[in-house]
């Protein structure tokens, strides 16, 4: 059974700092990995989707990498801003089976 772990569970950083969020999964036979952002009391917003054949994806200040063989992904946020404060969720897809989520990393960026 696929399990997804996110470390750390919570992170507090000063504004402007670069940071890395980690995601690991137990079964490397995935089709893709998706990073989401969730603001308090809100739904999930998709940030980046990495196909299993890809190594990384970039969108603005966000960069996500995927090392499928080792079962790891990282989300890099450059020059963090208070507006980046949210919970970041990692999820993996193994084809026709539904997404499996980690418990998330709660990020606070302090001005």
Partner 1 sequence: SQTIHQWPATLVQPVGSPLSLECTVEGTSNPNLYWYRQAAGRGLQLLFYSVGIGQISSEVPQNLSASRPQDRQFILSSKKLLLSDSGFYLCAWKDRKIWGYTFGSGTRLTVV
Smallest CA-to-CA distance from 85 within 109, 111, 110, 61 is with 109
Q: Where are the beta strands (DSSP E) in 4-81?
A: 4-7, 10-14, 19-25, 32-38, 44-51, 56-59, 62-67, 72-77
d(CA 28, CA 2) in angstroms, rounded, equals 9
Nearest approach, Cβ of residue 33 and partner 1 (Å): 10
**Residue 93 sits in the site that holds partner 1 (CB under 8 A):** yes
**Residue 98 sits in the site that holds partner 1 (CB under 8 A):** yes
**Residue 57 sits in the site that holds partner 1 (CB under 8 A):** no
**Residue 24 sits in the site that holds partner 1 (CB under 8 A):** no
Nearest approach, Cβ of residue 47 and partner 1 (Å): 10
DSSP state of 26: S
- The residues binding partner 1 (CB under 8 A) are 31-32, 34, 36, 41-46, 49, 51, 89, 91, 93, 96, 98-104
């Amino acid at each position: 059974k696929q399990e997804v772990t996110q470390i750390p569970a919570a992170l507090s950083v000063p504004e402007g700092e670069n940071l890395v969020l980690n995601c690991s999964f137990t079964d490397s036979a995935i089709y893709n990995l998706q990073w989401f952002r969730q603001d308090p009391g809100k739904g999930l917003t998709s940030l980046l989707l990495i196909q299993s054949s890809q190594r990384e994806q970039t969108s603005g200040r966000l960069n996500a990498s995927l090392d499928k063989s080792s079962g790891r992904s990282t989300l890099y946020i450059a020059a963090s801003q208070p507006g980046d404060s949210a919970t970041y969720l990692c999820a993996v897809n193994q084809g026709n089976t539904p997404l499996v989520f980690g418990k998330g990393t709660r990020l606070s960026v302090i001005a």
